[in-house]
Amino acid sequence: MTSSAATEPAHDDGRFHRQLRPTGPLGIAGAVAVVLSLIGFSDLIGLVYPALGYAGMVIIVLVLARWAMARKDAADVA
């Protein structure tokens, strides 16, 4: 005598059988990663490394400009 309880779940609410569909930011990031992986590692580094360096320099300039403006505003108040 076999029991069907051992082979079939007692309650199936779809949690374990749901198909995963990457949507939103995770899906976009995955699609971008697949496309970028086709470029090649050395070519990708040749593009990304300088871009991040220039972005870092721009951020430093913006932070220094904001600091200078805040310092000037503090001197005007005092």
Residue 60 tokens, joined: 């430093």
Burial class (CB in 10 A: 0-12, 13-18, 19+), 18: exposed
Say if 33 falls within a structural domain: no
Domain region containing 65: 40-78
Say if 31 falls within a structural domain: no
Domain count, the chain: 1
Q: What is the pLDDT of residues 20-63, one digit of tens each?
A: 677 788 889 999 999 988 988 899 899 999 999 999 999 999 99
Distance CA 69, CA 78 (A): 14
Does this model's pTM top 0.75? My answer is: no
Q: In the predicted model, is pLDDT for residue 72 greater than 80?
A: yes
Say if 27 falls within a structural domain: no
Say if 62 falls within a structural domain: yes
Residue 53 tokens, joined: 């360096």
Say if 6 falls within a structural domain: no
What pLDDT is stored for residue 58 in this prediction? 98
Say if 75 falls within a structural domain: yes
